[in-house]
Chain A
Amino acid sequence: KNEVEQSPQNLTAQEGEFITINCSYSVGISALHWLQQHPGGGIVSLFMLSSGKKKHGRLIATINIQEKHSSLHITASHPRDSAVYICAVGRYISQGNLIFGKGTKLSVKP
């Protein structure tokens, strides 16, 4: 069993829909990262969080440490949100050893 599980693996949405991507992990962590990888291949860090909730524009990330679960929400989705979203967990605050999920491929149709 992978230490970091994401669901769904693939997601197709219509423009404007509210989107949720889930991440569950089985190890103790100091922080959880949400990354975005566009079709061109570049990887961008969206959030790093260790508790509660963070918001940036239309993106919201939440984490429940007790349940070992995090969600990434996208409100009012847009075709430019189409990308692979990757969840990764870091065991130590110095963030050396990141363990990655397999990613969720999101496609937003106009």
Chain B
Amino acid sequence: DAGVIQSPRHEVTEMGQEVTLRCKPISGHNSLFWYRQTMMRGLELLIYFNNNVPIDDSGMPEDRFSAKMPNASFSTLKIQPSEPRDSAVYFCASSSWSNGYEQYFGPGTRLTVT
């Protein structure tokens, strides 16, 4: 398997622009997680889906952030409008009951908002 795939790997955008991050989980995994990592706060869970349904989005910072999972093989995290404080590395991870819920991480998307 190719592992968790994220795109783009790097994104530089100007404040106020819309940003869309994409994730393809490992085939057969039924849980998908979006995390954010910053120097100040470390890793934080933003939202997670189980069987394509959002289960907990309490980590989503504010209304500017939204996430969707239209099918089992694709998820997006959208920021609109983006702000400099959104600059971080965004990780997607997936897991499955069949592997004991061990999480497999994607390579991350490094977002810089200027």
Residue from the list B42, B44, B50, B107 in contact with A41, Cβ < 8 A: B107
| Chain A interface bracket (under 10, 10 to 19, 20 to 34, 35 or more) | 20 to 34
Q: How far is the CA of A43 from the CA of B110 in the complex (A)?
A: 14
A45–B105 touching, CB < 8 Å: yes
B35-92 at interface with A (beta carbon < 8 Å): 42-45, 48, 50, 55-56, 89, 91
Number of interface residues of B (CB under 8 A): 24
Taking the closest CB of chain B, its distance from the CB of A61, in whole angstroms, is 13
Whether, in the assembled complex, B25 has its beta carbon less than 8 Å from a beta carbon of chain A, the answer is: no
* Given A86-B43, A88-B43: A96 in contact with B89 (beta carbons within 8 A): no
A96–B50 touching, CB < 8 Å: yes
Question: Which secondary structure characterizes the binding site on chain A?
Answer: strand
* Given A33-B103, A45-B103, A48-B102: A96 in contact with B31 (beta carbons within 8 A): yes
The stretch of A17-25, A66-74, A97-105 that contacts the partner chain: A97-105
Q: How far is the CA of A35 from the CA of B43 in the complex (A)?
A: 11
Residue from the list B43, B97, B100 in contact with A48, Cβ < 8 A: B100
Closest to B30 in A: A94
* Given A43-B91, A100-B42, A100-B43: A94 in contact with B31 (beta carbons within 8 A): yes
- Chain B residue numbers with a CB within 8 Å of A94 are 31, 50, 97, 101
- Chain A residue numbers with a CB within 8 Å of B95 are 95
Q: How far is the CA of A95 from the CA of B29 in the complex (A)?
A: 13
Chain A positions near chain B (C-beta within 8 angstroms): 31, 33, 35, 41-45, 48, 86, 88, 90, 93-103
